[in-house]
Structure 1
Amino acid sequence: MAGGSLDLPVVDLASPDLKSAVDAVRKACVESGFFYVTNHGIQDGLLEALFAESKKFFELPLEEKMLLQRNSAHRGYTAPYAEKLDASSEFQGDLKESFYIGAVGDVDMPNDPNQWPPKESDFHLGRIQ
C-alpha cells in the first residue's frame, strides 16, 4: 500500500478465553492474512536465534536449499514460483519461498520426518536452546 499504513490485528494469547483467541486468529487470517501475537510465552532469545537461523538458511544459494526440497509429506524447502496460492492469478506462481516443518518428536505422526540443514547449522529447534 503505497504511502499508506497497515494496522495489523493483535492476538493476545494471555486471555483465558481460548475461543476468543481462536476467533481473533480466524478473523485476522480472513481479513488481512497477517497478525501479531502477544503473550505467547516464547523467550525473546529463542525468537532471535530462530530468526537468525532462518535468515542464514534463506541466504544460501538456491542449489543448496533445493537439497531439502519439500517432500511428499510437505516437509522441507519450497522455491520461489513453486506454489500458486491464488489460482485466479495471471502469474506463474508466488514470489515467495518457504520452509515447511511439522510436529517435532511426535512419533505417532504418520508423515515423513522433518528435513533439516546440515548439522553445523542451528536451524533445527533442538539445536537452538
Structure 2
Amino acid sequence: MSAETENETSLGMILSLKPNDLLFNKKEAKMKNKDQKYDSRFIRKTLRFSSDEYAQIEAQLTTLGVNFTNFAKNAIINHNITIPIQMDLIYDLNRIGNNLNQIAKSMHTMDNKHKITVLAQLVEIEKQLQKLQYKQEV
C-alpha cells in the first residue's frame, strides 16, 4: 500500500468519526481509570447524623484539620482519635491538686481541733471538682 493510500485511509477513518464517538471514548477511558483507582475499595457505607451530632463532628474535623473520610476511617479502624488538650481544664485540675497536697501535708501536723477546718476545705474542693465535671459535660 502506498503512503498516499495509507493517508487517505487514515483521513477517511478520522472523517467518519462522529463527535459522540470521541466523547464516548473519553468517558469510557475516564470510567476505566476510575474503576482501576477504586478497585480495592468497592464497599460504601452511609451514615446519618442529627444536627447536633454533625455539629460536634464538624468541630472536631476543624480542630484536627482532617476530612471526614480520614476521620471516620481512623475512628473505626484504629479506634484512635486525637482530642486536643483543654488547657483551662488542666490548669483547674493542677490548682485543685495543689490544694489537696497542702491539705494532706497540714493534716499530718495538726491536732484534731483543726481537722474540722480541713474537712471544710475538702468540701470546697469537692464543689470545685463538680464544677469541672459540669464544664466537661457541656
State whether TM-score is above 0.5: no
Which TM-score bucket, shorter chain as reference?
under 0.3
Higher helix share: 2
Higher strand share: 1
TM-score, length-normalised on structure 1? 0.22
TM-score, length-normalised on structure 2? 0.21
